[in-house]
Amino acid sequence: METTLQRNSLFQKYNMQATLARGIKWGLIGGLAGTLGMELVLMGALTAVGMPPLTCLSFIGDTVAHLWANFGIHLVGGVPMCLAAQYLIGSLFGVIFGTMLSKISALHIYSLKKGVLLAVVYAEIISQPLLAMTTILLKMTAKDTLLWYSASFVMHFLYGVVLGAIISCGFRSVLTNHWKECANTGRKNQLPEERKAQ
């Protein structure tokens, strides 16, 4: 009973420590790292099949420029546009995810598995509006749409894994410190006879 109360108290203290600032910090780091990992895997896969590694990045950059052109804003596409868009969106998605984890108690992370699972589901869901908008504005064929969604699913899965792993480590480090603090406090409160018995 005492152990349960002690753990509940510890979790409550952890929840208070899981502030908005921590969510933004680890969400930003995880989002940037997830974007980088996604791009590295993509370029590696293209190289493995004999294609130029920057082909997909150039396509995404041109697509982003084309999307803005529909709103009367003309930008230069290519790889630079792709990198700017991906890192901006990737970091923003990470910050939103970290904020959600810090503010919604049901989403607080106590294990790496839960963090990765939540991040993967989040990444796949939040990316759907962007994917749908791209297929509509570019008027993709059914074949191109299937290829687009398939590739995007894999890339966003990787993004979610990296995001979830990093943000889980960040949030769980606070919990680990509290466990150590709790253990040290409990030992200090022991009587000398109890310490010898151990």
Q: What is the pLDDT of residues 33-79, one digit of tens each?
A: 999 999 899 888 888 888 888 888 888 888 888 888 878 888 888 88
Write down the pLDDT at residue 174.
55
Asked if 163 and 119 touch (Cβ cutoff 8 Å), the reply is yes
Listed ranges 8-22, 75-89, 114-128; the one with the highest mean pLDDT: 114-128
Q: Cβ–Cβ contacts within 10 Å for residue 16, how many?
A: 8
Contacts of 29 (CB under 8 A, 6+ apart): 94, 166, 167, 170
Q: What is the mean pLDDT of residues 175-181?
A: 53
- 194 pLDDT exceeds 50? no
State the pTM of this model: 0.75
Q: Which two tokens stand for residue 92?
A: 């923003």
Least confident range from 4-8, 74-78, 122-126, 163-167: namely 4-8
- 187 pLDDT exceeds 70? no
Euclidean distance between CA atoms 57 and 42, whole angstroms: 9
Asked if 94 and 32 touch (Cβ cutoff 8 Å), the reply is yes
* Three-class HEC string of the chain: CHHHHHHHHHHHHHHHHCCHHHHHHHHHHHHHHHHHHHHHHHHHHHHHCCCCCCHHHHHHHHHHHHHHHCCCCCCCCHHHHHHHHHHHHHHHHHHHHHHHHHHCHHHCCCCHHHHHHHHHHHHHHHCHHHHHHHHHHCCCCHHHHHHHHHHHHHHHHHHHHHHHHHHHHHHHHHHHHHHHHHHHHHHHCCCHHHHHHC
Write down the pLDDT at residue 184.
58
